[in-house]
Amino acid sequence: MTENLPISRALNAGLRRALETNDRVLLMGEDIGPLGGVFRVTEGLQNDFGPRRVIDSPLAESGIVGTAIGLAMGGFRPVLEIQFDGFVFPAFDQITSQLAKITNRHEGGVQMPVVIRIPYGGHIGAVEHHQESPEAYFTHTAGLRVVSPSTANDAYWMIQQAIESPDPVIFLEPKAKYWQKGEVDTEAPALPLHASRIVRRGTDVTLVGHGAMVTTLLQAAALAESEGTSCEVIDLRSLSPVDYGPLLDSIRRTGRMVYAQEAPGFTSLGSEIAATVMERAFFALEAPVLRVSGFDVPFPPAKLEGTYLPDADRILEAVDRSLAY
């Protein structure tokens, strides 16, 4: 069956299906009960599954993650909501020092099936601590899986796949796209959790990104086509591990690549992608891998976010530079 849903409702439907399928799945977070979360992703779930499975937690992110670690040790599969990206840092020690390392510490004898949902990124005109792109902190941490859907169909299936994972998953939700609608096939997932995918075919330049940036890349590709340049667009989907196969195959066809992200460019995911592509496909490249990113400053106030965040024009400028080599 196919439904047309915004990403927020697709996530809600995916969480509902996980709760129905496995009674060891629990949801925890601030205001996720009667309110349904800040972005209403969990709306109606406490009413249907009760407060023992959809738990309104205290305002204590470190406590939420610490409790989830204990629940996972007891055989549960906790799914945590962090209200905003900037609020995850009080829990950073629990995530990086404990959650990510316990399975290795016990030589595989203790699994940590914990999902941490984090609305991230800009484009909503929010205040400080409510617009961040913290993915590099988590992709740098061994023991964590990190994923980010860009479509409603991926949101529906990837949240379920993340919950089924035996390892902890950082699930980054592009908050600016919560209301973006798309077709959701509720019969079967299109791809595994950690697979990248080509969302637009092209021949001249490969454009790569994740989350909300995929929409911007598609906009840039459409504008480039009107100027006679054919761009292939790849949605990374999984940030750790990275599925390099489709990416490298594309670069071997186009010879050029531009990576775009909202996060600052210095020591970022884009840095790692660029370095790996240069190592593994150097002789296929006709130009250096170029990156378009947020600037290396704190995320600015709302009136300046349009200058800070990469847009289609900045991506097109990088495409032109790549073609000029």
The token duo for 277 is: 């592509």
Catalytic residues: 130
Q: Are 274 and 291 in contact (CB under 8 A)?
A: yes
DSSP 257-272: EEEEEEEESTTSHHHH
* Residues sharing a CB contact under 8 Å with residue 39, sequence separation 6 or more, in sequence order: 8, 119, 175, 178
| Residue whose structure tokens are 């020092």 | 97
E-strand stretches of 166-214: 169-174, 181-185, 197-200, 205-209
Q: What is the rounded distance in angstroms from the CA atom of residue 28 to the CA atom of residue 81?
A: 6
Q: Of 216, 186, 248, 249, nearest to 319 (Cα)?
A: 216
Cα dihedral sign, 172-241-101-157: positive
Residue partners of 112: CB distance under 8 A and separation at least 6: 69, 72, 99, 102, 103, 166, 167, 168
Angle between helices 7-21 and 152-164 (to 10 degrees): 30
Strands 181-185 and 2-6 turn out to be: antiparallel
